[in-house]
Amino acid sequence: MIEERLYVDGQLRVAEGGRTYENRSPVTEMVIGLAADASHRDMEDAIAAARVAFDSTSWSSDRALRARCLRQLHASLERNAAAIKETTRVEVGATEPALETVQFNTAIKHLLYAADTVETYRWEEDLGDTKFLGVPSRRKLLREAAGVAGCITPWNAPMQVNLAKLTAALGAGCTAVLKPAPDTPWTATVLGRLIAEDTDIPAGVLNIVTTTDNSVAQLLAEDPRVDLISFTGSTAVGRHLMAAAAPTIKRVFLELGGKSACIVCEDADLDAVATMTAYGSCAQAGQGCSINTRLLVHRSVYEEMVGKVASAFEAITYGDPADPRNYMGPLINQKQYDRVLNYIEIGKREGARLVTGGRRPPGMAKGYFVEPTVFADVDPASRLAQEEIFGPVLCVIPFDDDDQAVEIANGTIYGLAAQVESASRERADALVKRLRAGVINVNGGAYHAPDTPFGGYKQSGIGREMGVLGFDEYTEVKVVAYGIPD
C-alpha cells in the first residue's frame, strides 16, 4: 500500500514543482518507488493549515470527535494491515517478529489508548478554596491543547513513533505537522491516505510532509506558528533543534540516544540472560535507542557469560525479511551500514576482543546486513562503550562489585534504559534505585506498552512519550480563580 504524495490541508498532493526522491529498500538496495520531496513552500502550507485548523475549528474542544476519529483510523489500519505490513517489510526491512510488535501490531494500539484517554483524562481539577489579601476565591485547573505540534520522527520504528506522537497530540486537541525520516516516507504518507478516505478528521488537523531537505524540517522549530516540537532521533540533531526553537521559546520534547546497560549479577540465570540479550540487541538489527548495547557482567561469571552470549548471537537468524524464519533484517541504508562497520573497526583498534560477527555475512552481496557482533573486554571509557552505534553490536564489560557496576552503567552521557538481572529482588531493587535511566527492566521484565511513559535522563532527552505523561506533553495548564461572594 504505497502513497507517494504529501497530505496537506486535507488533500493528497504532489510537492511543489512535482519534486520527488527515490525510496530505496534496505533489503535489496534497489529503488522501490518515489516519495514527494517537499519544499519550504510545502512546509509553510502545512504549518498554515495546522494553525488555521487549531484556531478556527472545534477540533481542540470537541473531545467526542477526537475519540471517534482516532478509533476510525485504528479500524482503517486494521483493515489494511496486510498491505501496510508488506510495504513496511520492503521499506524498513522489518521481519515478521518486528511487524508483530513495534513495526505494526503494537504500534496501532496507541490509537485506542489515546481515544480512551481523551474520555478519561483529567481535563479539569478542583483546587479548592483559598484566601489572598482577605479575598476568598474558588479555583480550578484546566488542561487544554498546547496548539500546533511539529512531530519529527526517525526511521527505525516509524509506525510506532509516528503513532505514539500523533495519537497523543491529536487526542489532546492539538493539530500537527508530521515530518517523517526520508528513508521511511510511505509508513507516514499512508496515514494521510487513510485519514482522507476513512476518517472524519477535519482538513488541516494533520499534515504529513516528506522531504530530503533538513532545512525544510527545521522550519517547524523556527516558525512562531508552531507551539511545540516533538522529536525522536539522535542527540546531536536534538541539540540542533533545541537551539533552533529557542528564539520562539516553544516547548521541545526530545527522545534521543541511548547506550543502555544490562547488569548481570553472579546469581542471575545466565542462559536466560544470554538469550534475552541476543534477541534484544539484534531486534531491528540493533537500531533501537533503548536496546541494551552494554552487558555488564560480574567477574566471577564473566567468561562463562561471554561464551553463552556469543553462542546466542550466533544462533540469531537473519536475512530476507520475507522469510518468516529470519529474526533480524538489514540496517536502514548505506550510511548506517558504513557507520556500524566503522565502529567495529574502532573496537578492534581500541583493543576490544571480537568474539563473534563483525562483518557482512558471507554470501549476502546485497542488502545492508551486518552479522550479530559481540565484543568482550571492552574498556568502559572507549568509544565502543560510550557512543551510540545503532547496529547489532554488543559490548561485554566485567565488574567486581555493585558499586562498580553502577558507576559503569551511569558513566555515559545517556540515561534512557537499563536492565538488572539478579536472583535477589532486594539486590535488584537497590541497583534500580541507583541507575540514572528512564525505563528499567528487571529479571526479564518488559516495560513497553502504550500506557508506559517512555523517555530518559541526561542527554537521552527531555519529557516523556506515551502514557498519561506523554499526553500531558501536548497540553497547557490554565488556572482560573472565581471570587466567592460574601
* 255 noted as active-site residue: yes
* Dihedral over Cα of 104, 188, 215, 227: its sign: negative
Active-site entry in 289, 395, 465, 473: 289
Burial of 443 (0-12, 13-18, 19+ CB in 10 A): middle
Q: Are 360 and 344 in contact (CB under 8 A)?
A: no
Active-site entry in 255, 421, 465, 473: 255
Query: Which long-range contacts does 88-92 make (Cβ < 8 Å, 24+ apart)?
Result: 88/158, 88/159, 88/187, 89/27, 89/321, 89/322, 90/25, 90/27, 90/32, 91/23, 91/25, 91/32, 91/184, 91/185, 91/186, 91/187, 92/26, 92/155, 92/158, 92/184, 92/187, 92/329, 92/332
* 174 noted as active-site residue: no
Tell me the C-alpha to C-alpha distance, in Å, between residue 107 and each of 38, 110, 157, 295. Answer: 26, 6, 9, 28
- Catalytic residue positions, numbered: 255, 289
